[in-house]
Amino acid sequence: MKKISNGVKFKSLGHNKTKLPTKPSIKILETFNNQHRDSLYLVPLICNEFTSICPITGQPDFAKFEIVYVPRIKMVESKSLKLYMFSFRNHGEFHEDVTNRIFKDLWKLMDPKFMRIIGDFSVRGGISIKPLVQKFSDGMAEDQHQQILEMLNSWDNTKKTLNP
């Protein structure tokens, strides 16, 4: 395990040769503590190279995933997320199921104030499927809901200028 300055140890980060997982599991994911709990902020994570397989035909499915969350106490470590997302490569699951599974695993892991996941799957057979799952944590103040919605709107508008 590699130790970083604040004492957190990660299993995946810093290894010369990374062992790639062969099946999805929440156990692949790792967290660290949010150092800015007094701030309300978005953490957007973009996975441009997601692949899985169709559970019926075995054909590959390609997608871009956008994960946006507002942390509470825990945050997901990005390399463990990369390995988790990679673990779907040879796994057969429908687009909607994959998107909901990723959402549920990350929600359970972090218990964020808010999270939105969009699975932007490539066109197959003339149809593109783009599942979206979103949730606010229970007991949040209405003003925080509004602030988060404003930040999401800002992020969505900013994306247009980052990747026209």
Positions annotated as catalytic residues are 54, 61
Q: Judge whether 105 and 115 are in contact, CB under 8 Å.
A: no
The token pair at 126 is: 């003339």
In a 3-state reduction of DSSP, which class is residue 72? coil
Question: What's 14's DSSP letter?
Answer: T
The token pair at 101 is: 């599974």
* Beta partners for residue 63, in sequence order: 50, 121
